[in-house]
Amino acid sequence: MTVPTPTPLRFSPYGRQVTYLTHACMELQLGGKKMIFDPWLTGPAFARGWWLLHEPPADSMERLCMADLIYISHMHSDHLSYPTLKSLSATRPDVPIYVGDTSRPVFWMLEKRQVKLTNINVVPFGIWQNIDEHLRFMILKDEVHPELDTCIIVEYKGHMILNTVDCTRPNYGRLPHNVDLMMSDFAGGASGFPMTFSGGKYTESWKADFIKNERKKLMNYKAQLVKSLQPKIYCPFAGYFVEAHPSDRYIKETNTKNKAEELNALIKKSAPGITTWTPKPGAVLDLALALMSPTITDPPSGTNIYKDSWDFDLYVDELNRAITAEIFKHKSWIQFYYIWAGFKNYNLVVRVIETDEDFIPIANGYNYLVDFMDLSFPTQRPTREHPYEEIKNRIGVMRHVVKNGLLWDDLYIGFQNRLSREPDVYHHRFWNHFQTELPVTGPDWDLFLQQVPSYQRSAEPQGIQTESVSASTFLEKADCTVS
């Protein structure tokens, strides 16, 4: 899709502002319309692994409820935030929300999440969507992850804003030059690799060197992309998250990220004609004035830039409620779940181990093997030659993922597991399936419980008396080891 170059008209003095709220969330006021990108304003992302670095302005939720339209780039939870949308739906369920027509629907979990939104619009790629006489937008797909990632071009009176979000190669490399404002991710660190890996080469020094080199490569790529497109103004965003939970201190210290200021300095050095903007919550870019001379309004005096509290217990307790779900009293859930997942005919054996917060195996937690060659569940590794992975998962997050049929991004991107493998080979088919291709309809656990033999259904594992048993009590007493 080749993007046309319009003839810009003069901005009117009304409605020309871009306000940074937090992470990838921007508010655009263009003419009489307000548009918001990727509102993640509250709660964690990727289960409990990511938390907002920047404190959103106090009126952010009010701004969201007043929006004329919302663009959500993709289904990752730092862009599609169900805690945020749940608050929105309580006040404004009919706000128009626009998403691209990706092969996996962006809102595939909407019903399961019990969020009532009544005006979700799935639009085709590469087609202008007219909002009014002067305002329109076009959603484009990513070449590397076309099933997942999208980006957007917004045009107002011939002036363009390009938001490439998390796209690796947005619109197959065909992007407009000389846009008025370009935004993109920049930070890196959105993966469990290599921080969550152990064994073999994965020493702390190897990890540090790898991370440093990868961040440098990303920084140079972003600087080169910006230089080649020559936007008038560039803003790095969609990278302001932190591994804030105390149990993830190791990840926070190891998973260093690029700094927006350093990327902007690199851009200024190679392309001095480009104005750069390092956003702070509540900061406002006046596009009309900025096109004549850089005009950025700082946040109001006294604004908190960085978050210092995140309501950890509220969200972690919600995840941990899955620990004592009825289905996990019956070890046959394992077979039921992986048959539902539908991945097989691949020579890989995986051991999955439930652990505590510190990734120490729970003596009475599940510890099982899955042979994906024939989708069997042996008690020991097969004698044939086979690749092997060991995955240790925090019990609360793993059971939450299983119970709700969620993608494994919550575990992998959310740093909620620890991995080792032999040989040290990335099994793309396996991880791509569990991260992007699981069935859209979740496991039918009601059917599963109906099928559990009556003798098994009536026999509760030792220590579990009712579903109200606390997670901590379960971790101490429940007997669910598969051997």
Q: What is the pLDDT of residue 358?
A: 97
Round the average pLDDT of the chain to a whole number and report it: 91
Give the pLDDT of residue 298: 77
DSSP secondary structure code for residue 434 in this structure: I
Q: What's the pLDDT at 481?
A: 42
Comparing CA positions, the residue from 257, 264, 439, 474 lying closest to residue 363 is: 474
* CB count in 10 Å sphere of residue 172: 13
Q: What is the pLDDT of residue 373?
A: 98
CA 77, chain centre distance (Å): 4
Residue linked to tokens 């652990």: 355
φ, ψ (nearest 5 deg) of residue 77? -75, -5
pTM greater than 0.75: yes
Q: Are 202 and 194 in contact (CB under 8 A)?
A: yes
Task: Find the helix or strand (DSSP H, E) in which 276 lies.
Answer: strand 275-276
Peptide bond into 387 cis (omega under 30): no
Q: What is the mean pLDDT of each run of 10 residues along the chain (483 residues)?
A: 54 72 98 97 98 97 98 98 97 98 96 95 98 97 96 95 97 97 98 97 98 98 98 97 98 98 97 96 88 71 90 97 97 97 98 98 96 97 98 98 98 98 98 97 96 57 35 46 41
Distance CA 242, CA 257 (A): 10
- Compute CA 368 distance to the chain's CA centroid, rounded to the nearest angstrom: 28
pLDDT at residue 297, rounded to an integer: 73
